[in-house]
Amino acid sequence: HYKIDQEFRRSILINAGLSLAGFFVTVKMIPVASRYVLRRSLFGYDINKKGTPQGTVKVPESLGIVVGIVFLVLAIVFQYFNFTADSSWLVEYNAALASICFMILLGFVDDVLDVPWRVKLVLPSFATLPLLMAYAGHTTIIIPKPLIPYVGLEVLDLGWVYILYMALLAVFCTNSINIHAGLNGLEVGQTVVIAFAIMIHNIMQIGASSDPEYQQAHAFSIYLVQPLLATSLALFSYNWYPSSVFVGDTYTVFAGMTMAVVGILGHFSETLLIFFIPQVLNFLLSVPQLFGFVKCPRHRLPRFNPETGLLTGTQDGTLVNFYLRVFGPKSEKSLCIHLLIVQAIGCCFCFLLRHLLAGWYK
């Protein structure tokens, strides 16, 4: 047991070192890539600054492509340094990377071609195929203790339903990050908060368990979440208010897919969904517009008042608008900070819930 601990620690530390290098490379590459995307007219106008001089500036789009590429390089190189790997680990790890890579490609296609909304929704289900086809893990769920008498089983094998669940999880994670957006810093900010929570969760679980397979599953997650966190922080420094770059759908779907993949292969997808509480709320508020019961405009953003410099909530069904309607007009920057704090509170709630329900799964 002691030896395994040592090996995990070594692999995690090397992964941290690689991630740190990735942070600096991303910081250096974003301004370079910005010049190139502008040359190809890949830019957006900052909508919440309409009516101000800043609102007429062309902000380079899709800088998530830098994060995606640096992330993939780190994740591929890391395999060489993973001392705890066995062959089945490598198959799943590479299938996960293929899914993430496919998702980055489709996200970039969306940024360049502006794919219709309905098509955009289902793209992630194609991107998960490499993972689903290579998945050799279990397809069972553990029944919570209080429910065992009613179900009559301790574990339930879901078979292909479980595979479908994994595909749906990827569709949800990618899209839900993409539509909780439209404020400078919000797309990356929410990812940074969730990725940080996932890291803490993994470290706690590795420490609490002595089962090598369970530890391996959580270490797997750390190996992918650490580079995600590091490269996202680099992007955050440019995307924070006032944004000098936009992240693009390349970033939102990449981040969502990476977190879905670690949730699936780390076997903590229920916990992951609780980290996504604000995204779930935003999705529920969005249902009428997403499914076409109410007209869905291209952008569902708050209204900017150039006189006060504050944002006011509109009738569009988003968490951003709902928050503004409940708590009153706010500046873009403080609204983003508020929503990131809400995200962090959601994560703390998840840890509390897990603590309270711990006995249910033992």
Site residues for ligand UD1 per CB under 6 A = 44-48, 61, 178-179, 181-184, 243, 246, 249, 299-301
Cβ proximity to ligand UD1: between 15 and 318 the closer is 318
Least CB distance to ligand UD1 at residue 102 (A): 18
- Residue 303: helix, strand or coil by DSSP? strand
Query: How many helical (H) and strand (E) elements, i.e. helices and strands, does the chain have?
Result: 14, 6
Q: Which pair of tokens denotes residue 268?
A: 């903590």
> Footprint of Mg ion on this chain (CB under 5 A)?
178, 249, 252
Among candidates 110, 76, 81, which has minimal Cα distance to 93?
A: 76
Q: Which helix (H) or strand (E) holds 43?
A: strand 43-45
Least CB distance to ligand UD1 at residue 144 (A): 34
Q: Which residue is nearest to ligand UD1 (CB)?
A: 44
Cβ proximity to ligand UD1: between 61 and 92 the closer is 61
Least CB distance to ligand UD1 at residue 283 (A): 10
Cβ proximity to ligand UD1: between 202 and 243 the closer is 243
Q: Please give the angle made by the CA atoms of 94, 98 and 100, to the nearest 5 degrees.
A: 115
The item of Mg ion, ligand UD1, none sharing an interface with residue 256, based on CB under 5 to 8 Å by kind, is: none
What sign for the dihedral angle of Cα 204, 209, 210, 215? negative
Q: Which pair of tokens denotes residue 314?
A: 């509109």
Cβ proximity to ligand UD1: between 2 and 291 the closer is 291
Phi, psi dihedrals of residue 155, rounded to the nearest 5°: -130, 150
Least CB distance to Mg ion at residue 187 (A): 7
Least CB distance to ligand UD1 at residue 43 (A): 7
The item of ligand UD1, Mg ion, none sharing an interface with residue 173, based on CB under 5 to 8 Å by kind, is: none
Cβ proximity to ligand UD1: between 36 and 45 the closer is 45
Contacts of 116 (CB under 8 A, 6+ apart): none
The item of ligand UD1, Mg ion, none sharing an interface with residue 46, based on CB under 5 to 8 Å by kind, is: ligand UD1
175 within 8 A of 181, measured Cβ to Cβ? no
17 within 8 A of 86, measured Cβ to Cβ? no
